[in-house]
Amino acid sequence: MRCSLQPLREMGFRALRYPSSSIEHEAVAGRVRAEQIGNIKRYLSSMMLANVCNASILVAALWSSSQRELAIAWASTILIFVMYYGLWRRQSARATPSYVSPRAITLAARNALLLGTLWAILPLLFFANASPSGQMIITALCVGMLAGGAFAFASVPAAAMAFTLPIIIAVSVILGRGNDPTYLMLIVLMISYIGVLGRGVFVHASQMAKRVAAQCQAETKVRRDELTSLPNRLAFFEHLESAFERLERSHEKFAILYLDLNDFKAVNDRCGHATGDRLLVQVGQRLKDCIKEVDLVARLSGDEFALVVADVANSDTVTELANRIVRSLDTPFVIDGTEVFTGACIGIAFAPADGTSPELLLKRADKALYDAKGKSDGAIQLYDSSCKDVARRRRILECELRCALHRREFFLLFQPIFSLDNNRITGFEALLRWQHRASGIKPPIQFTDILEETGLINEVGHWALVEACKAAVAWPEYIRVAVNVSPIQLRHTRILFSIVNALAVSNLPAERLEIEITETAIIDDSDEVLSNVNALRELGIRIALDDFGTGYSSLTYLRKISPDSIKIDASFIREVTRDASCESIVKSLIKLSRDLNIKVVAEGIETAEQLNYLQAHHCDEGQGYYISQPMSANEIAGFLPNIGAARTNAA
C-alpha cells in the first residue's frame, strides 16, 4: 500500500470539507480523518463545559432585565444540545479507530454548524436591547466562543468554519446597524482576527494531515517486505490477531497455510541470488492471484510464505486452495528468458481447533509443513497430533547433538582408497559416525541436516579435521587423508582457520590432506566460496569434487576450482554393468577427467564385475565395500602391512 502524500491543493471550499483530500490512498485518508475526530473528542468535554458556563453567565447578566425569560429559553436550548452531544460522546467513548469514514467529518461539521448557529442567535436576540454592560458581556461571550470553537474544531477546517461563520455574520450584522464609528473599527478588527484565526486552522489541519500520512507511510514500510512488497512477519501477526478477534466476536473460523519453496537453494546456487530474488517476487504474485481479496499472503523470511484464509467453512476448501497453489507454483517461472522450476510444500493449521493464539497456530502450521517436507507422497499436510511427535523428536535430536561433541560420542572411521593400476593404497576417506547412547551407531545421513541447520557443523567439522589429521600422521608418507567439508563450512573463512589449525596441531603436511567438497558447494558462485577454495589450493591442500554427476556440474565449475580429483557417485557405479546409460556416463567421466588431467575415483564398488569394468576402462582409483570396509584408526595399523595380499585376493 502506497502512503505517499502529494502537496496539498489550494485551500478553497473543497478543502474546507476535507483538508486531506489530496491524499491518494483512502486508507491513509481514513487515518487522517480518525486523527481529526480524535482531536475534537479530546477537547469535547472542555468545550461543552464552556458552553454551559457562558450560557449561565448570560442568564445571570440579563436576570434583572425584561429579557430574562428569553435568556433562560436560549440557555436551555444550549444545555439540551450539550447534553445530547455529551451523550453521543459517551456512547462513542472508546479507543479511536484506525479508520474513520467521510461521514464522520460531515457529522462533525453539521454539529458544529448547529452549535455555531445557537451562539449566532445570541447577539441577534439580546444585543440591541441590552444595557452597555450587557452588550460588553455579549460581545465578550461571542469573541470567547469564536476563539474557543475555532481552537476545538481546528483539526477539521470544515467544522471550524461551520461554527465560526454564523457567529461572525451575526456579530457583523449587529455592529453594522449601529451609528457609532467604533463599531466599524470593531468589524475591521474582527475580520482581521478571523483571517488570522482561519489561516491558523488551515495550517494546523494541513500539518496534521502531512504528519499522519508520513506516520502511515513509515508504519507501512515497517510492515512490508522490501523485496516482494508483501506484508512481512510483523504485519502477518497483526492480521492474525485481528482474525482471532473476529473469531471471538463472530465465530469466523480461519486457517493458516505455511509454505516454503522446493529447491530454492539450488536456484540460488545455479542461477545466482538476483534470479532467486526475482523468483520470490513472482512467487508472491502467484500466491496473491490464488487467494480471495479478504485473505492475506505474507513473506515471513527467505523462501517461507504464509497465508491467512478467512471465513473457512470446512477443510476441503482450504485443501483445494493449497492444491491450486501447488499447481500454480509447479508451472515454470520465466526469468530473463530462462525457465526456472520450483515447487512448494504446505502445512495447514485451522483456528481454533489447532491453536488459540497467533504464535501457537503458526507453530502448528510449521510442524505440519515439516511433516509435509518429509513425505514423498504429497506436498500438502494438515496438522494433526502426529506432527507433535515429529517436532518433539527433532528437538530431542538437536539437544542430543549439542551434547554429543562434549561427551566424545563422535568418532571417525576410515575407508581405503586404492589405486586400480598397481594394487596400492593411496589414501583413506574419513567418515563421521555418532555413537548414540541408546540407539547405537548413527551414520551422518541421519543427523547432518540438523548439524547444518543449527550451525553445529562448524564445531563438529573442526573436530573431524583435527582427528583425521592426527590419525594420518602415523601412516606412510604417500598415503593421504580425505575429509568431507560441508557447503555451510566452505562459505565462511572460518574453514581456513580450522584446516590450518588441524595441520599445525597434527604436524601433517598440507599435501597429504584432501578436502572433499560437493557440487552444491561450488555452484554458489560467490566470492567467499571461490576465495576459500583458492586459498586451500595455495596452502598445497588437495581438492576433490565429491558425488560428481549428481548435481548441476559443468566444465565452468571444473575450470574455476581445478580439482585434483573427481569422485564418481556410487549410484552410477552400482548400475555400471547393468544399465547402458550409467555405463555411458561413467565412461564419459573417466575420459573427461583424463583429458583435463584430473584423477577420477569410483565410489561404492561392491562387486568384482564393477571392479573389473573400472580397471578395463582405466579408472584411476576406487573405494567400496568389495575392496575394504571402513575401519578405525587402530585397525589401520594392522591393515597396512596386508594391503598387497588383501588387494590381490580381492582381484
- Determine how many CB atoms are found less than 10 A away from the CB of residue 110: 13
Residue 39 placed within a domain:
yes
**176 lies in a domain?**
yes
Q: How far apart are CA 629 and CA 651, in angstroms?
A: 15
What's the pLDDT score for residue 139?
81
> Is position 580 within any domain?
yes
Instruction: Check whether residue 249 and residue 313 sit in a common domain.
Output: yes
- How confident is residue 367, by pLDDT bands cut at 50, 70 and 90? confident
| Residue 4, helix vs strand vs coil | coil
What's the rounded Cα separation, in Å, for the pair 577 and 292?
55
Q: What cell numbers appear for 483 in the block?
A: 575429509
Neighbours of 578 (CB within 10 A): 10
Q: How far is CA 259 from the centre of its chain?
A: 13
Q: How many CA atoms lie within 13 A of 254 on its CB side?
A: 27
- Please give the average per-residue pLDDT across 35-40, as a whole number: 76
Region of residue 6 (phi > 0: left; psi between -120 and 50: alpha; otherwise: beta): beta
- Considering the domain architecture, whether residues 245 and 330 belong to the same structural domain is answered as yes
Q: Which of 348, 383, 418 is the last residue before a domain boundary?
A: 383
pLDDT at residue 87 in the model: 52
C-alpha cell at 16: 474546507
According to DSSP H, which parts of 596-650 are helical?
608-616, 633-639, 643-650
Complete DSSP assignment for 210-254: HHHHHHHHHHHHHTB-TTT-SB-HHHHHHHHHHHHHHHHHH---E
Q: CA–CA distance from 47 to each of 74, 85, 145 (Å)?
A: 18, 11, 9
Question: Domain check: are 217 and 266 in the same one?
Answer: no
Query: Where a domain ends, among 222, 248, 267?
Result: 222
Query: Which residue is it, cell 482531536?
Result: 39
Same domain, 176 and 263: no
pTM score:
0.47
Sequence-ordered list of residues with C-beta below 8 angstroms from that of 266, at least 6 positions apart, any chain:
520, 523, 552
pLDDT, tens only, 312-353: 888 888 999 999 999 999 899 999 888 898 889 999 999 988
Between 178-187, 279-288, 480-489, the lowest mean confidence (pLDDT) is in 178-187
The verdict on residue 636 lying in a domain is: yes
pLDDT digits (tens, 9 = 90+) for 417-457: 999 988 889 999 999 999 998 889 999 888 888 888 788 89
Confidence bin at 251 (pLDDT 50/70/90): confident
Residues 508 and 640 both lie in one domain: yes
Say which DSSP state 5 is in: B
Distance in angstroms (rounded) separating the CA atoms of residues 309 and 205: 39
Same domain, 105 and 128: yes
Whether the CB-CB separation of 137 and 61 falls below 8 Å is answered with yes
SS3 515: strand
Alpha-carbon distance 223 to 303, whole Å? Answer: 18
Which residue shows C-alpha cell 577427467? Answer: 593
> What letter represents residue 221's amino acid?
K
**The one-letter amino acid at 255:** A
Same domain, 239 and 215: no
In this structure, what DSSP letter does residue 546 have? E
Residue corresponding to grid cell 460581545: 139
140 has a pLDDT exceeding 90: no
Q: Other CB atoms closer than 10 Å to residue 382's CB: what's the count?
A: 21
Q: Are 448 and 470 in contact (CB under 8 A)?
A: no
Comparing 149 with 19, the larger pLDDT belongs to: 149
Weakest mean pLDDT among 29-33, 66-70, 345-349: 29-33
The continuous run of DSSP H or E covering 266 comes out as helix 264-271
Count of CB atoms situated within 10 Å of the CB of 452: 16
Same domain, 449 and 582: yes
Closest CA to 138 of 153, 113, 119: 119
Q: How many residues does the chain have?
A: 651
**For residues 241-267, average pLDDT:** 89
Confidence (pLDDT) at 555: 63
Residue 486 in grid coordinates: 560441508
Do 431 and 459 fall within a single domain?
yes
Report the alpha-carbon distance of residue 606 to residue 87 in Å, rounded: 90
Question: Are both 627 and 525 inside the same structural domain?
Answer: yes
**469 in Cβ contact with 506 (< 8 Å):** yes
In a domain, 6, yes or no: no
Q: Is residue 397 part of a domain?
A: no
Q: For the residues of 115-155, what is the DSSP string, one character each?
A: HHHHHHHHHHHHTTTS-HHHHHHHHHHHHHHHHHHHHHTTT
Range of the domain at 377: 233-383
**Residue from 126, 123, 116 nearest 70 by CA:** 126
- 396 within a domain of the structure (yes/no): no
Report which of 175, 158, 163 is spatially closest to residue 119, judged by C-alpha positions. 163
Residues 6+ apart with CB under 8 A from 116: 149, 162, 163, 164, 165, 166, 167
Of 290, 269, 293, nearest in space to 279 by CA = 269
Q: How many domains does the chain divide into?
A: 3
What pLDDT does residue 105 have? 82
Do 361 and 412 belong together in one domain?
no
pLDDT at 18: 36
pLDDT higher than threshold 70 for residue 196? no
What confidence tier does 193 reach under pLDDT thresholds 50, 70, 90? Answer: low
**Residue at which a domain ends, from 222, 252, 284:** 222
Structural domain includes residue 3: no
Most confidently predicted of 152-166, 191-205, 429-443: 429-443
The answer, yes or no, to whether the previous bond of 352 is cis (omega within 30 of 0) is yes
* Mean per-residue pLDDT, 553-559: 63
**In angstroms, what is the C-alpha Rg of the chain?**
40
Rounded to whole angstroms, the Cα distance separating 416 from 402 reads 30
pLDDT interval class at 376 (50, 70, 90): low
Give the single-character DSSP code of 449: H
Give me 634's grid cell: 587402530
* Residues paired with 224 in a beta bridge: 231
pLDDT recorded at residue 644: 43
539 in Cβ contact with 499 (< 8 Å): yes
Q: Which residues pair with 441 in a beta bridge?
A: 435
Residues with Cβ < 8 Å from 74, sequence gap 6 or more? 55, 58, 118, 121, 122, 125
The CATH number covering residue 616 comes to 3.20.20.450
pLDDT digits (tens, 9 = 90+) for 270-307: 888 899 999 999 999 999 999 988 899 999 988 999 99
Contact 486, 452 (CB under 8 A): yes
Q: Mind listing the pLDDT tens digit for each residue in 563-617?
A: 899 998 888 899 898 888 889 989 988 998 888 899 999 999 999 999 999 999 9
Banded pLDDT at 225 (limits 50, 70, 90): confident
| CATH, residue 284 | 3.30.70.270
Q: Compute the distance between CA of residue 560 and CA of residue 533 in angstroms, rounded to an integer.
A: 10
Question: Do the strands 542-548 and 338-340 form a parallel or antiparallel pair, or are they unpaired?
Answer: unpaired
CB 307 within 8 A of CB 296: yes
Burial of 59 (0-12, 13-18, 19+ CB in 10 A): middle
Residues 312 and 366 occupy one common structural domain: yes
Q: Which three cell numbers stand for residue 487?
A: 557447503
Percentage, residues of the chain above pLDDT 90: 32
Count Cβ atoms below 10 Å from residue 627 Cβ, excluding itself: 20
Q: What is the mean pLDDT of the chain?
A: 82
pLDDT of residue 17: 35
